[in-house]
Amino acid sequence: MPDGSVAADSKLKATAPWDRILVCVVSGQAWVLDLVQAAADPAEHEIRTMSRDADALERVSRLAPSVVVVDITGGDPMPFDLLRSLQASPATSSIPSLAIAASDDPLVRAAAFSAGVEDFVTRVIEPEELRARLRTLGKLGGATRRSIDADAAIARLQTRLRERDRDLGEMRQIVQHMRSSLQADNALQRGRVERMVQLGLELNKLQDFHVLMERILSEARALLRADAGTIFLRESRSLRFAYAQNDTLSKRAPEAAKFNAYQLPVTETSIAGWVAMSGEAVNLADAYDIDASLPYRFDPSFDRLTGYATRSMIALPLRTSMGSTLGVLQLLNALDERGRPRDRFSEADQVLLGHFASMATVAIERSRLAESIISRMLRMAASRDPAETAPHAERVAGVAALIFEAWAHRRGLSGAAYERQRDRLVVAARLHDVGKVGVSDTILSKPGPLTPEEIVHVRQHVIIGARFFMDMDHPTEFDEAARDVVLNHHERWDGTGYPGHVDLQGRPLKDPRSGMPRTGGKRGEETPLFARIVGLADVYDALQSARAYKQPWVEKPVLNLIRGESGRHFDPELVEIFFALLDRLRDLRAAHPD
């Protein structure tokens, strides 16, 4: 029988949609192809044929079908060798196979299953039954391929992240060189350099982009003693007033210092625009008194809008190692050690801020890469379960951050240590349900109640997700936090949750004293704090969100349930904190609608 269009194999692998069943028929009998074509649905199946010969394995590998149908009629052992080879080859072991025989000979059937087939039929099978079997095997093959592709994609992304982490080592060398080359002429300057060195290391530990940017701005202002500052982020031909801090305006009214929607074009006429285009720094004693020969002018619209009085100013580009400009760091109104206005930012200030901007840009690039990885994970999860929307992930992360903030405040945890832990929690909370990429979308989108078997399958998402963060050679704080949250966010305070005491293969762990497998869920503080927080945040948001199997709840019964589950489902202290924060939690939900 002639091969069918196998020459276009590589193109097919890249373009064939996951929801179309590609069936490869390996046969030397015309009736086998006729039987498969009679059973196939043209809208659901695509049939490819190839000869039953020594080159069949290679051609199947290149074609990468959803299902392989192998004709095992006759006395030739070749088809059985092919089936064993399909199971043994890494390229084809995940492809389900179906054997077709002329008759239902028990010995032939046993030999087929011994060779590794998933299913066995004879030529007398009804087309409708064969169509159903092809559909089932096709879904199995598609789900396996999706899982393998997802694992491979995440492995590639984690490799890139580790490469960025290696850049941190290079940055330490840069810092060491800078430390030796910047010989401060007084104790104050030496202290500023030491502080900047420490900051460079701390910034590269932050994962959340927003936390990082706020930290960069606040530390830059502290280094140079600036009353106010702004980070402009470049968006195409505009600069967005993305992060702003202003002590003078904050003292008047806390909300007066927020201007995230303010934008200006990237042109040489504005100071920030000129810095972004030229890549050069600007250091002015008086923004209102600029030499007429210079190409830029101060834009006073912000001062008019807020009543602020800008005088001294320093602005530097945030440039990557490839020479592109991410944005502009701008500080306003230099102060002395007593908080009184200084004439201007000094040349030493400019040198120091230039080095700090270089380190900050490395941290921004690394954070953006981490953000890209997280976004891709969330998109993969959303492709499997549309209910797991990006706003849901952001709301869960926001609620978790507020609860942790109050928990940390009770224990006196503050400063950089608190920020680093909150940053880890926010990232992990956004990824709490990433394991759903490995759960059948048929189950996830089922409108009615799940069967016991389907519930068992859905609960595997915590194991699947936790495996994404298995890097035993070089685990990061992010890996550990994400693994704890993903694995344990369905545990309950009273020990009735899941998955319980298991390893990342889902196997029960043994009790170190009795040597017997541990049963039941984790109890109380056996569940990590981050997972207890995310578990509460997830229930609060999920119950008020629409799902395929339910309508959204109104708030009152949700709050009654959470209050009633204190000490059963939820950590009692976290429930107490939750209700103390209720107004802020409502505001957060309103800010991130579906």
Contact 462, 499 (CB under 8 A): yes
Pairing of the two strands 313-319 and 282-284: antiparallel
Tokens of 48: 């490819």
pLDDT at 18: 45
Nearest to 301 by CA among 285, 287, 289: 287
What is the number of alpha carbons within 13 Å of residue 468 lying toward its C-beta?
39
- Give the residue with greater pLDDT, 130 vs 214: 130
Q: What is the arithmetic mean of pLDDT over 218-222? A: 87
Q: Which of 85-99, 174-188, 406-420, 462-476 has the lowest mean pLDDT?
A: 174-188
Specify the pairing of strand 313-319 against strand 325-334: antiparallel
| Domains defined along the chain, listed by start | 6-149 (3.40.50.2300), 182-366 (3.30.450.40), 385-591 (1.10.3210.10)
- DSSP label at residue 520: S
Find out whether 48 and 6 touch, Cβ atoms under 8 Å. Answer: yes
Q: Which residue has the tokens 């982490």?
A: 165
Q: How far is CA 406 from the centre of its chain?
A: 25
Q: Is the pLDDT of residue 2 over 60?
A: no
Residue 523 reports pLDDT greater than 70: yes
**Residue holding tokens 């095992």?**
72
Residue 475 pLDDT > 70, yes or no? no
Q: What percent of the chain has pLDDT over 70?
A: 80
Is the model's pLDDT at 126 over the cut of 80? yes
Q: What is the pTM of this model?
A: 0.51
SS3 assignment, position 92? coil
Greater pLDDT, 555 or 181:
555
The arithmetic mean of pLDDT across residues 347-364, rounded, is 83
pLDDT of residue 368: 67
pLDDT of residue 402: 95
- Which of 112, 132, 118, 113 is closest to 40 using CA atoms? 132
For 272-321, write each residue's pLDDT tens digit.
889 988 989 999 999 999 999 999 999 888 888 888 999 999 999 988 87
Across 141-160, average pLDDT = 72
- Spatial separation of the C-alpha atoms in residues 299 and 305, rounded to whole Å: 11
CA distance 398 to 426: 7
Q: Kind and range of the H or E element at 50?
A: strand 45-50
Mean pLDDT, the chain, rounded, equals 82
| 408 pLDDT above the threshold of 50 | yes
Amino acid in the structure at residue 93: S
Helix axes 347-384, 390-410, angle to 10 degrees: 120
At which residue do the structure tokens 């050679």 appear?
473
Most distant pair of Cα atoms in the chain: their distance? 98
Q: Where are the beta strands (DSSP E) in 58-115?
A: 67-71, 97-101
Contact residues for 88 (Cβ-Cβ < 8 A; gap 6+)? none
> If you ran DSSP here, which 8-state letter would residue 76 be given?
-
What value does the CA radius of gyration of the chain take, rounded to a whole number of Å? 31
Confidence of residue 64 (pLDDT cuts 50, 70, 90): confident
| pLDDT at residue 263, as a whole number | 64
pLDDT of residue 83 exceeding 50, the answer is: yes
Among 519, 486, 520, which Cα is nearest to 504's? 486
Alpha carbons within 13 A on the beta-carbon side of 15: 5
Question: What pLDDT does residue 35 have?
Answer: 92
- Residue-wise pLDDT tens digits, 8-46: 343 334 334 445 788 999 998 899 999 999 998 888 888
Q: What is the mean pLDDT of residues 52-70?
A: 89
CA angle 41, 45, 48 (to 5 degrees): 125
> What does each C-alpha distance from 293 to 270, 280, 281, 460 come to in angstroms?
14, 16, 17, 68
pLDDT at 581 over 90: yes
Q: How many CB atoms lie within 10 A of CB 123?
A: 16
Mean pLDDT of 319-333: 86
In 3D space, the residue among 223, 199, 203, 221 whose CA is nearest the CA of residue 211 turns out to be 203
Taking 80 as the threshold, does the pLDDT of residue 384 lie above it? Answer: no
Who's near 339: CB < 8 A, 6+ residues apart?
none
User: Per-residue pLDDT averaged across 515-528, rounded?
Assistant: 91
**What is the pLDDT at residue 372?**
65
* Whether the predicted pLDDT of 496 surpasses 90: yes
**Range ranked top by mean pLDDT from 131-140, 228-237, 286-295, 389-398:** 286-295
Distances (CA, A) of 501 to 452, 491, 511, 517, 567: 21, 10, 9, 9, 20
Instruction: Select, from the ranges 136-140, 391-395, 576-580, the one with the highest average predicted confidence (pLDDT).
Output: 576-580
d(CA 68, CA 137): 9
Phi, psi of 148 (to 5 degrees): -65, -45
Q: What percent of the chain has pLDDT over 90?
A: 32
- What is the pLDDT confidence band of residue 531, given thresholds at 50, 70 and 90? very high
| 199 touches 358 (CB < 8 A) | no
3-state secondary structure labels for all residues of 172-220: HHHHHHHHHHCCCCCHHHHHHHHHHHHHHHHHCCCCCHHHHHHHHHHHH
Which range in 115-129, 179-193, 358-372, 561-575 is most confidently predicted, on average pLDDT? 561-575
pLDDT at position 312 is 96
Inform me whether the pLDDT recorded for 113 exceeds 60: yes
User: At 486, is the pLDDT very low, low, confident or very high (cuts 50, 70, 90)?
Assistant: very high
**Cα three-residue angle 158-149-90, rounded to 5 degrees:** 105
Strands 67-71 and 263-265: unpaired
pLDDT 10s digits, 162-197:
777 677 666 766 666 555 545 444 455 555 555 655
Question: What is the distance between the alpha carbons of residues 30 and 100, in angstroms, rounded to a whole number?
Answer: 13
The highest-confidence range among 118-132, 180-194, 205-219, by mean pLDDT, is: 118-132
